[in-house]
Amino acid sequence: MSLRYTIHPIHKNPVPKDIASGSLKAKKPNLQGSKDILRTLDQRKLEDSILRWLGEGIAGILRATRTVNFQDVEEIRLRIAKPLLLAGRREFFLDERGAVVPPEKGYKVRREDIFQALERMTQSSLYAAEEEMRQGFITLPGGHRVGMTGEAMLKKGEIQSLKHISALNIRLAKAIPGIGEKILANLIRRDGSLYHTLIISPPRGGKTTLLRDLIRRISEGSEILKLQGQTVGVVDERKELAGMWQGVPAYDLGCRTDVLDGCPKRIGITMLVRSMAPQVVAVDELGHTEDGEAVLDALRTGVKILSTAHASTLEEALGRPSLKELFAQGTFERVVILSRRQGPGTIEEIVDLEKFRKSGMGKVGM
Q: Are strands 197-201 and 158-171 parallel, antiparallel or unpaired?
A: unpaired
Residue 32 neighbours by CB distance under 10 Å: 5
Q: Which pLDDT score is estimated for 9?
A: 34
What per-residue confidence (pLDDT) applies to 366? 52
What per-residue confidence (pLDDT) applies to 111?
95
Q: Are strands 91-94 and 85-88 parallel, antiparallel or unpaired?
A: antiparallel
| Residue 345 neighbours by CB under 8 Å, 6+ apart | 176, 179, 205, 206, 209, 210, 338
Neighbours of 17 (CB within 10 A): 10
Contact 278, 233 (CB under 8 A): yes
- Residues 106 and 95: their CA atoms lie apart, in Å, by 4
H or E segment to which residue 94 belongs: strand 91-94
Q: Who's near 338: CB < 8 A, 6+ residues apart?
A: 199, 200, 201, 205, 206, 207, 210, 344, 345, 346, 347, 348
Strands 100-101, 91-94: pairing is: antiparallel
Distance in angstroms (rounded) separating the CA atoms of residues 135 and 100: 33
Q: What 3-state class would DSSP assign to 282?
A: strand
Query: CA 179, CA 72: separation in Å to the nearest integer?
Result: 16
Chunked into runs of 10 residues, the chain (366 residues) has average pLDDT values of 34 46 42 43 70 93 87 93 95 96 97 94 68 78 89 80 89 86 93 95 93 97 92 94 86 96 94 97 94 94 97 94 92 96 91 87 60
Partners of 257 in the beta sheet? 232
List the domains of the chain with CATH numbers: 17-171 (no CATH), 181-359 (3.40.50.300)
pTM for this entry: 0.75
Rg (CA), the chain: 22
Per-residue pLDDT at 22: 44
171 class by beta-carbon count within 10 Å (0-12 exposed, 13-18 middle, 19+ buried): buried
